[in-house]
Amino acid sequence: MEFTLNSSHKMPVAIFGTFDIKSHQVKQAVHDAIRTGYTHIDCAAIYQNEAEIGEALAEAFDTGLTTRDKLYITTKAWCSKFRNIREACLNSLKRLRVSYVDQYLLHWPFALQPEDNEPPKYSPGKANFDRYPLHLAWAQMEALVDEGLVKSIGVSNWTVALLNDLMGYARIKPVTNQFEINPYNSKKELVDFCLQHEVIPVAYRVIYRPAAAPLYPFQKCILDDPIILELSQKYGKTPAQILLQWCLSRNCAFVVKTITPSRMLENYESQNFKIDSEDLARINDMPFEGEYNDAYQQFGIHIFK
């Protein structure tokens, strides 16, 4: 299943995520994902595993497992690299061993103090902000499209207000906005705004499991929600498949991460059925429970509040 982007390129909606996959697990995980059917790989410089993904891709190309033109690769510029996004992109391309990426994102809607580390280091903190305007960062992103280093550009973790502002100065529109979406945090207003402006919402953390306290005190697991369990039984699908199909029903793509082949297939096959409108409405009506990826907890700045 694919969505057509406002750049006219087609993007596979089932996206294999690479966040927190350990270096020694990357090659097998990427190859298993490709064998399962995933043709869209989601990466980021800050994940610290682009080089290992590049090795996995090179081997996949060399052995005939897949070809570059059959894969859609997304990666992201980290916030400490916003003053020189071209250099950040070139470093990602070098690590990934490709001449271009299909999509390049600004990872968060703020800049952090510049650093020389490659790949960049995760350095949260209230004192680490860089007063660098987002419109200048976006102009650099547009230049990457002009140069042919990336085919499409997008954003991650942007709000309605930030997107609305971006639409006012963008020469090239963002094709996607990647942000946290699940029935406990459905972000209806943001999803609707994205779709109205031809920006595809890309959901991460759809399959919500409790995080480690005390940084993330929200401990409710969506896989155990009574409504999700009831619909799982009704449709003969797993709770994860119910959640991912709910996401697709809202015209959102999704990022899922697992190193277990059976779960890769389970997640991928969520594309192969539909949920009745009445049952979708029940999921849509589930109350807000909390924001897992809370920017304030990490960086001391409120974004989705």
Q: Kindly list the catalytic residues.
A: 47
- Determine whether 170 is exposed, middle or buried from the number of CB atoms within 10 Å of its CB (0-12, 13-18, 19+): middle
Cβ-count burial 205-227 (b if 16+ within 10 Å, e if not): bbbbeeeeeeeeebeeebbebee
3-state secondary structure of 168: helix
Give the pairing type, strands 2-4 and 10-12. Answer: antiparallel
Helix H or strand E segment including 27 = helix 23-36
Q: Other CB atoms closer than 10 Å to residue 20's CB: what's the count? A: 11
Q: Other CB atoms closer than 10 Å to residue 299's CB: what's the count? A: 19
CA distance 82 to 113: 9
Q: Is 24 annotated as a binding residue?
A: no
CA 227, 232, 233: angle at the middle one, nearest 5? 105
Q: Write out the binding residues for substrate.
A: 107
Which residues sit in the known binding site?
107
